[in-house]
Chains A and B, each alone.
Chain A
Amino acid sequence: MSFEQGQRVRVASREHRGHHRTPGYLKGRVGTVERSHGSFTNPETRAYGESGLPEKELYLVRFEDGHLIYADIYEHWLEPQ
């Protein structure tokens, strides 16, 4: 799924027992898409010896908590808010 700069998004709060790069402290949080970094091989499948294809788009997302947190989140972990 594709997202626009400035779009509000929610990080999925699903459990994922295998390797994934969405930190627990951000799951379920709402943030704003800052930019896209482009597409990368999927670490969740590469971690098990697969090719990591098809590539997934990676977004820099901004979260507010008094201070700001910027984290790189893959498209399949983001939902429109």
Chain B
Amino acid sequence: MIEVQHLTKRYGPVTAVDDVSFKVEKGEILGFLGPNGAGKTTTMRVLTGYMPANDGKAVVAGYDVFANPIEAKRRTGYLPETPPLYPDMTVREYLTFVARIKVQGASASDRAMRVEHAMKKTHVDDVANRHCAKLSKGYRQRVGLAQAILHDPDVLILDEPTAGLDPKQIIETRDLIRGLAGNHTIILSTHILPEVAQTCQRVVIINKGRVVAEDTPENLTHQLKGAATLYVQVESNGDLLPTLKGVPGVVKVDVADRHEKFTGYEIEAAPNRDVRRDVARAVVDGGWGLLELRPKRISLEEIFLQLTTEERPEEAQHG
């Protein structure tokens, strides 16, 4: 549904997007993750036809955005970082205007129906007659979303759709976006990690204009550490390292924390091997008290930091 190949965008001497390629399948929600200034917004602006790229190709809903921008735009809904609202218009007037420029050749009644439908779907029908200037941040964001889905596009591109919302609104917006998937293919950008884990099926992590990882949130977690890590707390201040290392399947053991009465260990197991039972037995058989045993899952946050702080060898050379 969306295919980006070797996309490069430069602003003068600054390369904002550097040889970015990825694909999004129909009905998928793709999370576009990266620190501020990584090139997320620029990539999205290229995909929506707001600006041309210097190099590369982008195909949206079967249309090349450079060769056939009008057809591509007809099939794309876009929510920019700041919802593009006209303060002097009421919500209904605004959406009716958007319907006029986005839906070609629709009758007035068809437009009115689309507007009502979009307002219902994004829960803004209660402010239909209020001026956009007087809307709260949460409503502005949702009117922006209504604007993006108005023409029932194949592809939705959402630039930080939950930025600046309160926790309740964030949950509502995420539910809304999840509800839209299936009918629409969605790319959403964010720098908030749990958002990706909760809403997206696939993640593209971008840093300094380059794609540094692309996978499902689960796979990313696996890939990076290779294996699950266990945290074990034992009621003893003795040294259990040899015992734990002797458990079959255990690759590495470290002391995580040491207290007066108990010690915590971090145990790394071989890939796809569940060592929990054996570790528990080894501890109990040794006569120590087992206080705690839990899988220590690496969070997306850590992956993100690992990926975005890791220096690339060629970059180091070029200085």
A binds B: no
